[in-house]
């Protein structure tokens, strides 16, 4: 009786007799990651990518130290180290059966495409170092006015001044709803 090697069986596409890829016969897509990492369903908690239900490997780590997971097309996977509660990488299983690493931002957008603009605004405010809670900044001289939206730390129109003194300014991030109403987002 003939047997196929494990590597041949883990191939995403079956090969024909001449060794060429035969797309008419597909195998289940397989994600192989180091055994010390966990593969989980990618979910959103609030607006951030998080670890959902953990996937069970179909093949435990062998000599190469990698665990293998069979996944359905369209699945978005978040990968983290065994003791971590936040994802470090994300993978997507495409319709053609390929498994590709994608940026965490793209994983968020694949899970919730409608919230992409809101998450992009949040990232802009974070890059400027602002939160929705006012923060005090000290300046020698300034001309900031309360209730006015300003550019901040290289980002256009992300800060609203809530209070201004002679040398201190309190500013917070413009919320997404405020940005939409002002035509900024």
> How far is the C-alpha of 9 from the C-alpha of 16, rounded, in Å?
13
Asked whether the predicted pLDDT for residue 161 surpasses 80, the reply is yes
Cα(100)–Cα(105) distance, integer angstroms: 14
SS (H, E, C) 101-159: EECHHHHHHHHCHHHHHHHHHHHHHHHCCCCCCCEEEECCCCCCCCCCEEEECCEEEEE
pLDDT at 18 over 70: no
pLDDT of 75 reads 95
Domain boundaries, the chain: 6-111, 116-182
CA 121 to chain centre: 15
pLDDT score at 7: 41
110, pLDDT greater than 90: yes
94 pLDDT more than 70:
yes
The mean predicted confidence, pLDDT, of the chain is 86
Phi, psi of 86 (to 5 degrees): -130, 145
The band of 142, judged by pLDDT with boundaries at 50, 70 and 90, is very high
The pLDDT, as a whole number, for residue 125 is 95
Average pLDDT over residues 127-148: 94
DSSP lists the bridge partners of residue 31 as 69
Query: Rounded distance, CA 120 to CA 104, Å?
Result: 12
pTM for the complete prediction? 0.72
3-state secondary structure of 179: helix
């Amino acid at each position: 009786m003939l047997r196929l090697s494990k590597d041949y069986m883990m191939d995403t596409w079956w090969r024909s007799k001449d060794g060429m890829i035969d797309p008419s016969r597909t195998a289940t897509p397989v994600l192989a990651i180091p055994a010390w990492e966990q593969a989980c369903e990618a979910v959103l908690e609030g607006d951030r990518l998080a670890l959902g239900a953990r996937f069970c490997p179909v093949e435990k780590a062998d000599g190469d130290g990698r665990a293998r997971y069979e996944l359905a097309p369209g699945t978005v996977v978040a990968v983290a180290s065994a003791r971590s509660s936040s994802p470090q990488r994300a993978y997507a299983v495409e319709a053609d059966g390929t498994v590709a690493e994608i940026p965490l931002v793209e994983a968020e957008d694949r899970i919730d495409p409608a919230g992409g603009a809101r998450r992009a605004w949040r990232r802009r405010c974070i890059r400027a170092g602002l939160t929705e809670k006012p923060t005090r900044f000290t300046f020698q001289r300034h001309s900031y006015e309360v209730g006015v939206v300003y550019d901040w730390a290289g980002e256009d129109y992300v800060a609203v001044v809530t209070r201004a003194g002679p040398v201190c300014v309190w500013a917070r991030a413009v919320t997404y709803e405020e940005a939409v109403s002002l035509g900024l987002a």
